[in-house]
Structure 1
Amino acid sequence: MAKDPRATFTIRTVDQLTIEGEKSFRHVGLYADLKDVLARAKYPFRVLPEASEGRLDRALLLNLTFWSADSGGDILTRDEIDADVVCHAAWHHLAARAFGGTGEKPSVDSLFLGEAIASAFDVYLVGRLLGHSPDASFLETQVPAMADATDAAGMSEEDFEAMLQSIADDPDRAFEDLRQLLVDATTKLFACRTAEEGYAALTSFDGHRFAALLHRYELSNWVLYARAYAGNQGDDARVRTVDKTLRAHEASLDWLTENWVLPAIA
């Protein structure tokens, strides 16, 4: 009998992992709830085999290639996880819980919405930590990465600083603005079949406050993954309804908390 390749990974739940940077997230009330979501669901994280311990390059490649291929969580290099990754995994789990079915492949729309929520939440965290935990290790990695992306897009340092300030001033608005941009951009790019069409899709967002951050989110990977693994590649009415609801809500994170997070820990 052929050996199951998944057996080479060690499975860990969130309560079996050391969480790095958690202290900086104490004032973010939603963090504790998202962590509780994973704990109650016994959400499985996969740790690389001992022979590959510490191989961050290998973990990154696998995570980018198989980010929603099955029910397993992020692949880790050891029994440690960053606090922001806990949040990211929880949002993916909640999206799958909202739209998934037993043995059902995720739709393109659900993949894009789930990843948009998880990714935009990072910007929300940046905003919350800038004002409360400016020395957080999370900011030491996220802010330079954001700066690199905006610099590549031609944004000045002054404009980047202004962007950070606007995120800190209203993290909830920053979350929703970026979430919408990521959903709209990936949906448009998915429909493109040529570089010319893709270019037109990208430039259509040039006026958006976060357009310079788009490259930060590996959108080509989202699109290619959806083409390879998604089930329904047409409109998913369930997802579109949630998306419209979030756009219309005064505070979309409040809606997600009430309708996704709290029922998962009730």
Structure 2
Amino acid sequence: MKLRSLTVDELTIDDERSFRHVSLYADLKQVLQRDGYRFRVPDVEASWDRVVFLNLTFWNQSEQGDLIASEHIAADVVAHVAWHHLAHRALAPTSAGAPPTAEALLLAEAIASAFDLYLVGRLLGHAPNAEFLATQVPAMADAAEAAGLSDAGFEALLAGVSADPERAFEDLRALLFDVTTALRPCDSMARAAEILAGFDAHRFAPLLHHYELSNWILSTRASGSSPAPDPIARAADAALRSAPVALDLLEQRWVRPPAPLPLGARNTDAAAPEP
């Protein structure tokens, strides 16, 4: 299987009409266009399972870019890839050639994954027939049910997300970052279970296993990433928590400029220092 290298403009984006009212989606797509981001596509038909395996197991940001199954890509995947691309640039280690730290990788994945929930909230009232909702909502419902949330509880959770998608984004982003950074150094199952139980009261705790956090943790452990605290990632995390609207801060500092800028107190109401 040989791999072709294609830009986003050379791909067919499925379900994009459902996102036409989400201006931030268009901005994220433009980031990939502006930076000439390239996807890798097999030159012969490949199974989805094989593509997912290769992408998750051997993905390397420095080699641009994500492997996709065909010349078709879902609109939500475009946004997900753009967030990873922006995070890689904004959270890069200060030492030239050093790999991203574990905390930088976990923060990037938390942002990209929480944006999926934001999209759910934005699309529920505007594009209820979106393909994205047809796949995401049942998968979330399955995870919530397995976690013990009732159907009524899940409906209430979705109603809250739809009422304030921006708040839902930040609440989930912070939760994902807190859980994964706490679990990564664990050396015992008992301690990991204790940590997970400590987050049970969070409104999005029933969705945690939807995000397959074991892949995040195992990936950072296997990648050679530094497990030490990362001041750049931590300052970015603190700035997002302190911002009136975290997504607005990301848009101002990462999405709009030609190159991502540090997240911090300057030009925001956040209390975190500049990294």
Bin for the TM-score computed over the shorter chain: over 0.9
How large is the Cα RMSD of the aligned pairs?
Answer: 1.5
Q: CA deviation at 1:59?
A: 1.1
Q: Is 1:99–2:86 an aligned residue pair?
A: no
* 1:19 aligned onto 2:10: no
- Residues 105, 230 of structure 1: 8 Å contact kept: yes
Stretch moving more, 41-50 or 150-159: 41-50
Q: 2: distance between equivalents of 1:65 and 1:162?
A: 36
Moved more, 95-104 or 38-47: 95-104
1:142 paired with 2:136, answer yes
| 1:78 equivalenced with 2:46 (yes/no) | no
Match of 2:181 in 1: 187
Instruction: Give the share of equivalent positions with the same residue, in percent.
Output: 53
Which residue number in structure 2 is paired with residue 4 of structure 1? none
- Structure 1 residue runs without a partner (length 5+): 1-6
User: May I ask how many residue pairs the two structures share in their alignment?
Assistant: 258
* Residues in 1 aligned to 2:249 and 2:117: alpha-carbon distance in whole angstroms: 18
Corresponding residue for 2:162? 168
Q: Tell me the equivalent position of 2:216.
A: 222
The answer to whether structure 1 residue 57 and structure 2 residue 35 are counterparts is no
Residue 200 of structure 1 corresponds to which residue in structure 2? 194
Partner of 2:116: 122
Which amino acid in the other structure matches residue 237 of structure 1? P
Question: How far does residue 66 in structure 1 lie from its aligned partner after superposition?
Answer: 3.0
Secondary structure of the residue that 1:132 maps to in structure 2? Answer: coil
- What is the correspondence of 1:30-69 to structure 2 with a 5 Å cutoff? 30-50=24-44, 53-68=45-60
Give the TM-score of the pair, scaled to structure 1. 0.94
Task: Decide whether the 8 Å contact of 2:118 with 2:161 is kept in 1.
Answer: yes
Q: Aligned to 1:154, which of 126, 148, 152? A: 148
Match of residue 260, structure 1, among 222, 240, 254: 254
Higher helix share: 1
Rounded Cα–Cα distance in structure 1 between residues aligned with 2:224 and 2:201 = 30
TM-score normalised to structure 2 length: 0.91
Cα offset for 1:104? 2.2
**Distance between the aligned counterparts of 1:95 and 1:226, measured in 2?**
15
How far does residue 99 in structure 1 lie from its aligned partner after superposition? 1.6
* Corresponding residue number in structure 2 for 1:3: none
Q: Tell me the secondary structure at the aligned position of residue 183 of structure 1.
A: helix
- Supply the AA of the counterpart residue of 2:191: E
